[in-house]
Chains A and B, each alone.
Chain A
Amino acid sequence: MNKRLDIWAVGVVVAVLALGFVGLSQQKIEIQFWYALTGDLGKATVELVDKFNASQDKYFINAIYKGSYADTMTAAIAAYRAGEAPHIVQIFEVGTGTMLAAGPAIYPVHQLMADTKTPFDPTAYIAPVKGYYSFPDGRMAAMPFNSSTAVLWYNKSAFRQAGLDPDNPPRTWAEVRAAAKKIVDAGAAKIGLSCSWLTWTQFEQFAAIHDIPFATKSNGFEGMDAVLALDHPLFVRHVQTLMDMQKEGSFTYGGRDSQPDALFPAGEAAMLIASSALRARILREAQFEWGVTYLPYYDDFIAAPKNSIIGGAALWVMRRPDATAAHYQGVAAFFAFISTPENAAWWHMRTGYIPLTFAAYEVAKAEGYYQTNPGADIPTLQLARPNPTKNTQGLRLGNLPSIRVVIYEEVEKALAGQQTAKDALANSVKRGNALLREFESLYK
């Protein structure tokens, strides 16, 4: 009798296990997605993920907020080392060099799409967007997600008050300087011009539109042995311009990174060179008429400026020991989902980031988005300028965050009158190259 009971028991256990197994296999496959956007952009990210989750019943993307960009990247690296990396992680553009060098830690997107047999056309993506996240031969390493570029925001009311034409914003640095001077002299605003993300807008973007290198080896795309090219006479000239403008009161340094952002919507700065993603904030906060235009350039150096480059973040696929082919199938499905013209256009219009694909741009245009939001197409048009060169595809430098800090420090010293423009750039090159060599030595 005991024996029979045992057999029964075994039978029950097997049945339960089997049922459990069936139950499990019907359960959705969970994919971890770590993101770094907060506030309204965080909401938009969750909405996008929810849309995907609702659109099919095989996969469930679990979107988890992991702090700022830097926090998220640190968390992903720590997690990878512990075998707990997320399947998808959002990494900001300056982390690109580190991620690309990570080899076995990442699953390049072109390979993912091929392995999962997901239809995928890299040429659909806007060139500078795709280029930033691609290998030199054009294979995409990461999925573009939220991209922006630098633009010039200007206060039309202040322009009018200073006797400037609000519908004819300055195009060149000479015009910007003249306008800024006029505005400050007329008392139309406290600050003529300020710049957010100074290293990004006044060096990285500046180099691209003037078609000069930021670093050798095609800005690092063709090898880790690149050196900084910041001692180019045009950079010296530009830093000198900023110093002169500061002396005459038409330019104000507003601090590092995004700290100057607040100056524009507050009406303090009549012109601000900043991210195109600032639009939503300006829309909500500015109590004056404003406009947006292309980045200024030196017209005696280049007649037709080149395309600018991007900022923002991309989605990287990471390896983890327990990830199965099914997980990556889900990741590929998600990427295909966010790349459809409708969804990409929705993301573009919902967040103010630039459209990922040309098709999405067309959708937004057809919906009249640029009519109701004048200037919202400027970032895309600026990025899509024809004939990109090796100087305009972005940067591929290791230790880029530290290099940016070096440039901040040296330029701050120059603006404080402690050194010349030439010295600031020479020091930046010297210290920046040391950082590049340090990064290179990690991979020897």
Chain B
Amino acid sequence: MKKARKNLTNIPAHLFLAVAAALLAFPVYMAFIGSTHDAATIGRGRMPLTPGAYLGQNYVQAWAYGTGERVSGTPVRVMMVNSLTMALAIALGKIFMSVLAAYAVVFFRFPLRNFFFWLIFITLMLPLEVRIIPSYKVASDLKLVNTFLGLTLPMMVSATGTLLFRQVFLSMPKELLEAAKIDGAGPLRCLWSIVLPLSKPSLAALFVVMFVYGWNQYLWPLLITTTRQMDTVAIGLVRMLGTSESLMDWNLVMAATIMTMAVPVSVVILLQRWLVKGLVEIGK
């Protein structure tokens, strides 16, 4: 009987969660619906709420032509590889730099320590889009236009990772490191064999956050690359979005959206456990 009452009190919780999940998923559901109809149906604006008959056709076309040969001359295969490499490089590069910086800020005392942390912290503000013209100038002064470094390095400037790892490291029992130090381990050794293994979940979490961030970048790749060989899927996607004067192949755009979403969504779902577990460290 007690169990029954407990189940009863759970009903509102189920309700809230189900409604929220549905609301958040609704736009994506609509995208999926959009990808199963023909262009005219969607263009007229009366979006049906149920799937249509064009699913196979749209996906094949989006894969084979939509973002591919006919418009950009870049096969989806190449764009997928580009996006993947870019997202991986951004995620790994960011983790590398923020771990080192957070390690220094937390476990060392040195002049200018707070000032440095502060400098890094303010990069949270003013996203790239806002300072894009001077940033482009800098990248081109450094001859980074059309290079892989130019594509990824500016994306690694952000304080999120450093802030997160700072929190994680702060919550680590200091005694562990003290003990290792007494055993004769140096700072780098401690980092490698004590701090990093302990922060594995956080590493995974930040990886997910940064991978998604990197994968979804659009404006910077568009500006910094002038060869088709470096196109990413986000560029391919936006290229499909019509301007005001052109036909909008909503069905193909949506099919392509669903396909390009597949990678970051699977990363998030697969690493979900790690994501939450990693962020638990911050809550400690």
**Which residue numbers of A lie inside 8 Å of B, CB to CB?**
32, 36-43, 46, 64-69, 71, 74-75, 77-79, 81-84, 86, 146, 148, 196-197, 257-258, 261-263, 265-268, 275, 277-278, 280-281, 284-287, 312
* A-side contacts of B242, CB under 8 Å: 38-41
Q: Closest residue to A261 on the B side, CB-wise? A: B244
Q: A246 to nearest B CB, angstroms? A: 21
**Which residue numbers of B lie inside 8 Å of A, CB to CB?**
39-40, 43-46, 70-73, 132-133, 136-137, 140-141, 145, 219, 222-223, 226-228, 235, 238-249
* From B40, B73, B246, residue with most partner A Cβ within 10 Å: B246
* B-side contacts of A146, CB under 8 Å: 245
Count of CB-CB pairs between chains A and B under 8 Å: 121
* B-side contacts of A285, CB under 8 Å: 39-40, 43-44
Query: Which residue of B45, B72, B226, B241 is within 8 Å of A268 (Cβ)?
Result: B45
In the complex, the answer to whether A39 meets B244 with C-beta atoms within 8 Å is: no
Q: Closest residue to B146 on the A side, CB-wise? A: A84
In the complex, the answer to whether A43 meets B45 with C-beta atoms within 8 Å is: no
* B-side contacts of A36, CB under 8 Å: 243
In the complex, the answer to whether B45 meets A266 with C-beta atoms within 8 Å is: yes
In the complex, the answer to whether B245 meets A42 with C-beta atoms within 8 Å is: no
Query: Which residue of A43, A196, A265 is within 8 Å of B70 (Cβ)?
Result: A43
Given contacts A75-B222, A75-B223, contact A39 B228 (CB under 8 A): no
In the complex, the answer to whether A65 meets B137 with C-beta atoms within 8 Å is: no
A254 to B73, CA, bound (A): 36
Given contacts A38-B240, A84-B145, A284-B39, contact A275 B44 (CB under 8 A): no
Query: Which residue of B137, B141, B249 is within 8 Å of A39 (Cβ)?
Result: B249
Given contacts A41-B243, A266-B46, contact A64 B226 (CB under 8 A): yes
* B-side contacts of A37, CB under 8 Å: 243, 246
Query: Which residue of A275, A280, A287 is within 8 Å of B244 (Cβ)?
Result: A275
Known: A38-B238, A42-B71. 9 other contacts (CB 8 A): A39-B247, A40-B242, A65-B72, A77-B133, A78-B136, A79-B136, A82-B137, A82-B145, A275-B244
In the complex, the answer to whether A39 meets B240 with C-beta atoms within 8 Å is: yes
Q: Closest residue to A263 on the B side, CB-wise? A: B45
Which 9 A-B pairs have CB atoms at the shortest separation, nearest pair first?
A: A258-B244, A82-B140, A266-B45, A285-B43, A277-B245, A39-B242, A39-B246, A41-B246, A266-B44
Q: B249 to nearest A CB, angstroms? A: 6
Given contacts A64-B228, A82-B140, A284-B43, contact A38 B241 (CB under 8 A): yes
A75 to B109, CA, bound (A): 44
* From A42, A43, A146, A280, residue with most partner B Cβ within 10 Å: A42
In the complex, the answer to whether A78 meets B133 with C-beta atoms within 8 Å is: yes
In the complex, the answer to whether A284 meets B40 with C-beta atoms within 8 Å is: yes
In the complex, the answer to whether A265 meets B44 with C-beta atoms within 8 Å is: yes
In the complex, the answer to whether B45 meets A262 with C-beta atoms within 8 Å is: yes
Query: Which residue of B46, B132, B226, B243 is within 8 Å of A69 (Cβ)?
Result: B243
A258 to B73, CA, bound (A): 28
Query: Which residue of B43, B222, B228 is within 8 Å of A67 (Cβ)?
Result: B222
* A-side contacts of B223, CB under 8 Å: 74-75, 78
Q: Closest residue to A277 on the B side, CB-wise? A: B245
Q: B78 to nearest A CB, angstroms? A: 15
In the complex, the answer to whether B246 meets A40 with C-beta atoms within 8 Å is: yes
A257 to B136, CA, bound (A): 29
Q: A388 to nearest B CB, angstroms? A: 24
Q: A151 to nearest B CB, angstroms? A: 13
In the complex, the answer to whether A257 meets B247 with C-beta atoms within 8 Å is: no
Query: Which residue of A39, A74, A79, A81 is within 8 Å of B243 (Cβ)?
Result: A39
* A-side contacts of B238, CB under 8 Å: 38, 67
* B-side contacts of A287, CB under 8 Å: 40, 44
Q: Closest residue to B133 on the A side, CB-wise? A: A78
Q: B272 to nearest A CB, angstroms? A: 34
25 inter-chain pairs at a CB distance below 8 angstroms, sorted by A residue, are: A40-B242, A40-B249, A42-B71, A42-B239, A43-B70, A46-B71, A46-B73, A78-B137, A79-B136, A81-B133, A82-B137, A84-B140, A84-B145, A86-B226, A258-B243, A265-B43, A265-B44, A266-B46, A267-B44, A268-B45, A275-B245, A277-B246, A284-B39, A284-B40, A285-B40
Q: A378 to nearest B CB, angstroms? A: 17
Q: A299 to nearest B CB, angstroms? A: 30
Q: B79 to nearest A CB, angstroms? A: 13
Q: A275 to nearest B CB, angstroms? A: 6
A258 to B244, CA, bound (A): 5
A335 to B133, CA, bound (A): 30
A196 to B219, CA, bound (A): 27
Q: Closest residue to B138 on the A side, CB-wise? A: A82
A160 to B189, CA, bound (A): 84
A66 to B226, CA, bound (A): 8
* B-side contacts of A41, CB under 8 Å: 242-243, 245-247
A39 to B246, CA, bound (A): 6
* B-side contacts of A148, CB under 8 Å: 245
Q: Closest residue to A92 on the B side, CB-wise? A: B243
In the complex, the answer to whether B71 meets A43 with C-beta atoms within 8 Å is: yes
* B-side contacts of A74, CB under 8 Å: 132-133, 223
A284 to B222, CA, bound (A): 30
A196 to B235, CA, bound (A): 27
* B-side contacts of A69, CB under 8 Å: 243
Given contacts A82-B136, A82-B145, contact A40 B247 (CB under 8 A): yes
A282 to B126, CA, bound (A): 41
Q: B108 to nearest A CB, angstroms? A: 39
* From A146, A275, A284, residue with most partner B Cβ within 10 Å: A284
* A-side contacts of B241, CB under 8 Å: 38-39
Q: B245 to nearest A CB, angstroms? A: 4
Q: A288 to nearest B CB, angstroms? A: 10
* B-side contacts of A261, CB under 8 Å: 244
* A-side contacts of B248, CB under 8 Å: 39, 281
In the complex, the answer to whether B226 meets A32 with C-beta atoms within 8 Å is: yes
Q: B220 to nearest A CB, angstroms? A: 11
Q: Closest residue to B231 on the A side, CB-wise? A: A65
A267 to B45, CA, bound (A): 9
* B-side contacts of A286, CB under 8 Å: 44
* B-side contacts of A284, CB under 8 Å: 39-40, 43, 247
A297 to B88, CA, bound (A): 59
In the complex, the answer to whether A38 meets B243 with C-beta atoms within 8 Å is: yes
* B-side contacts of A38, CB under 8 Å: 238-243, 246
In the complex, the answer to whether A81 meets B137 with C-beta atoms within 8 Å is: yes
A40 to B223, CA, bound (A): 22
